[in-house]
Structure 1
Amino acid sequence: MKLSATLPGLLAGLLLAGCASDGGLAARQSPAPLAGLPLGAAASAPLGDWPVLDWWRAFGDPQLDRLIEQARATAPSLAEARARIERADALLLARRADAGFAADASAALLRQRYSEHAAVAPTIAGSSHTSGSLTLGFRYEFDFWGQNRERIAAELAQGDAARIEARAAEAALASAIAHSYVELARTEQELLLARRGVALGEREVQLRQTRLRSGLDTEVEWRQASAEVPLAEAEATRLGAQAAMLRHQLAALAGAGPAFGAQIAAPQLQLKQGLALPPQLEADLVARRPEIVAQRLRLEAAGHAVAAARADFYPNINLSGSAGLGALDASQLLQGGSRLFGVGPALHLPLFDAGRLRAGLATRQAEQAAEVARYNQLVLNAFREVADQVSAWRALDSRVAAHASAARELDGAERAAEQRYRQGLSSQLLLLQVQRRQLFQQQADAALQAARLQTAIRLNHALGAGVSLNRS
């Protein structure tokens, strides 16, 4: 019977026979992602299109730029992310290969003695022959119900998610380096102030000693001033060690050893940069956050996996065939009479499988529900992080105003104390006391300004690097 006449009848029989029951699982709906959010990136859309990819350059410090560029090139954490991309690409190739046309060739030689008492032709019973075969086979699966198409789409989404996760790893690494770099800038500034405090303490000890000899002070004041100098030196030593550890941390983030950290110079960025919240913080900036885009793609992949599992309930049809040469006597292998060929459909109809298909569909639906929950949690966390950083930014702005007012008053007090000292109306001790109070205020200012920059970095990361850091 001709294949052209047989195949339609077989297809009609399959459609009439129906398919395995999904037990109602196919109609079940997974939880939906949070509504009203600009989710943005589908697998076919441009990926990684964030507003400010190199936001750290706004700090204006070339050394920071070099550290982040080196980290992006050599950091082990990014190498791991790139390996996940390669794995996703390989899985996609394998999936496409499974769904495409397949052909193979084989050749065989067999030396065999046939039994005299076996069910074989009398002409070969009890004799030995070398048989041979040359065969070319092919296979093609008709994707009538879209199983292969859905599985390929799922692998595509997984590959895109891996690429976005690599962007997320880069963004997290850049933020971590910027955080440590700002902390190093603060520590270096506090170290300079601490050394100035040591100098002020030594100057006070000299004045107290002179006043003690003149009978203007007692030994108590002199010894109190002397005790403060080693404490100030210890604080400077602590800050120096902290700066060294921050350099080691930056070196590790950049994928280098501690010796590289020793080469990092004092940061050139200014802690007192003009910072202001943007007039509007759009929700689509949160939706562009790499982690959220990647999870959205994971969710799409899970949806394709569910669709493929549903299609497994329907019959599938493979077309296979072979052609070649075969002969009992290898010497006759290339003769025309040794030709062989065959072609025909292979039909599979799932009727009863003890619940395997239903279990597979239920598993894919559960995985999809988990991906939806993970996506929703990421979105909620992102909006919470934005709200937290905005609140922290506003609180820091009010503290900056208070610190600025205190600094102006202390500057006025220093001028007045210096004027009284020059006019002989007060001792130099009063001027030193005012300068020491100024020193404490400057240390607090450095910590506050560093906190503002750290908040700006965290807000920028929470918004998917969508905010410039030096707006005034």
Structure 2
Amino acid sequence: MQPKRFFLFGLVLLLAGCSTLTPDYHRPAAPVAAAWPGDAPATAGSRPLAAIPWQEYFLAPQLRQVIDLALKNNRDLRLALLNIERARAAYRIQRADLFPQLDGTGSSTARHLPADLSGTGRQSTTRQYNVGLGLSAYELDLFGRVRSLKDQALQQYLATAEAQRSVQISLIAEVAGSYLNLAADQERLQLAQKTMANQQAAYGLVERRYDAGVASALDLQQAKTSVEAARVDIARYTTLVAQDKNALTLAAGTTVPAELLPTSLDQNLTALTEVAPGLPSTVLLARPDILQAEHQLQAANANIGAARAAFFPRITLTGALGIGSSELSGLFSGGSLTWNFVPQVTVPIFDAGSSRAGLEVAKVDQKIAVARYEKAIQIAFGEVADALARRGTIDEQMAAQQALTAADAESYRLSQARYDKGVDSYLNVLDAQRSLFGARQQLIGTKLVKFDNLVTLYKALGGGS
């Protein structure tokens, strides 16, 4: 019966070692609606943005090259990659605790005793040689403590990897946004310079009419005022262009070559692929920041298993197997085998509530992780909903702004014709000119909003990397 008992005991240990005390993981339900609010456009067969590489989304060749520069040189992305390497190494360290650690040893000991300490009345010298393998405090993971810690380290590593993806997506969106802002301000600067040239020409005409006694001094001063106003706009947009270049350089992590810089938004009218987000809100679960939060939740869940295991005995094994001899020549001869085996059982008896408090901390951490996961989903849902709300009206806004600009252009033409014929004052020309300049500036801003909206959707829907 005794061999059978040993067999059953070993089977119990084996089965115990195949499980952990970690609670079963269940993904929390998303605390958002299943569909996007409003009349969001839908397209059958749409691919989630997470499955679309950024090269297929951003189509302008110059913008692609600038993004590629950023992916190679941006320091935030570099730090994220280094964090992944660190987390991967930490996981390997924790995983190694599942296996015994064997160390090879070799030693030589010499000991000399004087005559009055030798016990024989004569001085003596003894030597000992040892070679062996040692097992150092290997824990039998009967209750899954080590496995739970390994699972926790794995989920932390996976969370770090998702954090890197999140940084990369944010970086791509930041570069695209900086690129578009520079393009818009370049176009605004060109408009201000063109307006300045037109104002100077108009001022020269009014000045000649004034010298001929046809125009008044008020007309001349009003024309001069419009020239100086255009000069102010040029200075302002020149500053903004310089600042936009600095922002793009910072995002790219290196100086962007001049040939890659945009000159206006017109060349980018088809630079970005239109998005068809006709998918349920569950596509948000593919966003890297949400995946990161879920991995952190799973890590907290695994930590509960490790905290529960602290209530149970821990068995560690320490031992060594080798050969020893007092003579080096006899080290490998028969009868030189040495060994020791030191199993140790640690049974928790009294720790003043430390283990129970540790379990409570682990459970609270898990609840915190659930709340963070749900909050990440809600934030993502809000970002997408806002972007879709903007996308639903931007085309209508663009058409209205284009019609307004065309109407202002016609008003300016008519007011200039009336002034040239002496029917109207120059003040009406200036008013029409200011309205036209403002409408053109607003048109540039509306185009920028449309492109920025596409960039926002790329980021909010977890664009592919």
Please report the TM-score for the alignment, with normalisation by the length of structure 2: 0.81
* AA aligned opposite 1:338: S
Matched residue, 1:19: none
| Contact residue 142 and residue 318 of structure 1 kept, 8 A | yes
Cα distance, 1:184 vs. partner? 0.7
| Preserved CA contact (<8 Å) 1:31 1:372 | no
CA distance in 2 between partners of 1:124 and 1:446 (Å): 107
Counterpart mapping for 1:422-461 below 5 A: 434=432, 437-461=435-459
Which amino acid is 1:51 matched to? Answer: A
CA drift of 1:12 comes to 9.0
Note the alpha carbon deviations across 1:44-87, whole angstroms, 9 max, x for none.
xxxx99132306x5453211100111111221111111111111
What secondary structure, in the 3-state scheme, does the structure 1 residue paired with 2:51 have? coil
Preserved CA contact (<8 Å) 2:184 2:264: no
Aligned: 1:265 with 2:261: yes
C-alpha distance in 1, partners of 2:301/2:455? 35
Structure 1 contact 247–262 (Cα < 8 Å) conserved: no
- The answer to whether the 8 A contact 2:107-2:129 is kept is yes
Q: 1:335 to 1:32 in 2, by over 3 A?
A: closer
Instruction: Give how far 1:346 is off.
Output: 3.2
**1:168: how far off?**
0.5
| Residue of structure 2 in register with 1:103 after alignment | 102
Structure 2 CA distance for partners of 1:143 and 1:456, relative to 1, 3 Å: same
Hey, what's the Cα distance between the residues in 1 that align with 2:417 and 2:211? 26
Say yes or no: does 1:54 pair with 2:51: no
Alpha-carbon distance in structure 1 between the residues aligned to 2:283 and 2:374: 16
User: 1:194–1:177: structure 2 CA closer, same or farther, 3 Å change rule?
Assistant: same
1:72 aligns with 71
What amino acid is the match of 1:266? P
Q: Secondary structure at the match of 1:337?
A: coil
Q: In the alignment, is residue 151 of structure 1 matched against residue 152 of structure 2?
A: no
Match of 2:247 in 1: 249
SS in 1 for 2:153: helix
Q: Distance in 1 between matches of 2:374 and 2:148?
A: 24
Is the Cα contact below 8 Å between 2:143 and 2:309 reproduced in 1? yes
CA distance in structure 2 between the partners assigned to 1:176 and 1:125 by the alignment: 85
Partner of 2:223: 225
**1:146: Cα distance to partner?**
1.8
Aligned Cα RMSD in Å? 3.8
- Residue in 2 that maps onto 1:112: 111
Preserved CA contact (<8 Å) 2:380 2:460: yes
Identity %: 27
Q: Secondary structure at the match of 2:261?
A: coil
**Contact map agreement 2:412 2:429 (CA 8 A) in 1:** yes
Q: Which moved more, 1:105-114 or 1:314-323?
A: 314-323
Normalising to structure 1: TM-score of the pair?
0.80
Q: Which residue in 2 is equivalent to 1:410?
A: 408
Q: Distance in 2 between matches of 1:312 and 1:49?
A: 44
Amino acid at match of 1:145: F
Q: Which amino acid in the other structure matches residue 137 of structure 1?
A: G
Alignment map for 1:319-398 (pairs within 5 Å): 319-328=317-326, 332-343=330-341, 345-394=343-392, 396-398=394-396
Distance (Å, rounded) in 2 between the aligned partners of 1:390 and 1:380: 15
Matching residue of 1:82:
81
Contact 1:295/1:375, CA 8 A, preserved across alignment: yes
Answering whether residue 301 of structure 2 is matched by residue 303 of structure 1, we say yes
**Given the superposition, is the C-alpha separation of residues 328 and 279 from structure 1 closer, same or farther in structure 2, using an over 3 Å criterion?**
closer
Deviation (angstroms), 1:347: 2.6
**CA, structure 1 residues 435+261, in 2 after alignment: closer, same or farther (shift >3 Å)?**
same
Per the alignment, residue 43 of structure 2 pairs with: none
Q: 8 Å contact 1:326–1:340 — kept in the other structure?
A: yes
Match of 1:129 among 105, 126, 133: 126
Q: CA deviation at 1:194?
A: 0.2
Q: Quick check: 2:57–2:273 contact (8 Å CA) kept in 1?
A: no
Residues 130, 329 of structure 1: 8 Å contact kept: yes
Alignment partners' CA distance in 1, 2:288 and 2:399: 35
DSSP 3-state at the match of 1:107:
strand
Whole-angstrom distance in 2 between the partners of 1:3 and 1:131: 39
- Mean alpha-carbon deviation: is it higher for 193-202 or for 146-155? 146-155
1:38–1:284 contact (8 Å) kept in structure 2: no
Contact 1:204-1:432 within 8 A present in 2 as well:
no
CA gap 1:95/1:275 in 2 versus in 1, 3 angstroms: closer
Q: Distance in 2 between matches of 1:94 and 1:27?
A: 20
CA contact (8 A) 2:159 2:291 kept: yes
Retained in 2: the 8 A contact 1:31–1:369? no
Amino acid at match of 2:369: E
1:160 is aligned to: 158
Distance 1:97 1:182 in 2: 49
Q: Which amino acid aligns with 2:362?
A: R
Gaps of 5+ in 2: 14-20, 35-47
Q: SS of the counterpart of 2:385?
A: helix
1:204 maps to 202
| Residues paired across the two proteins, number | 440
Which is worse superposed, 243-252 or 344-353? 344-353
Q: Is the 8 A contact 2:32 2:378 kept in 1?
A: no
Look up the equivalent residue of 1:445 and give its one-letter code. L
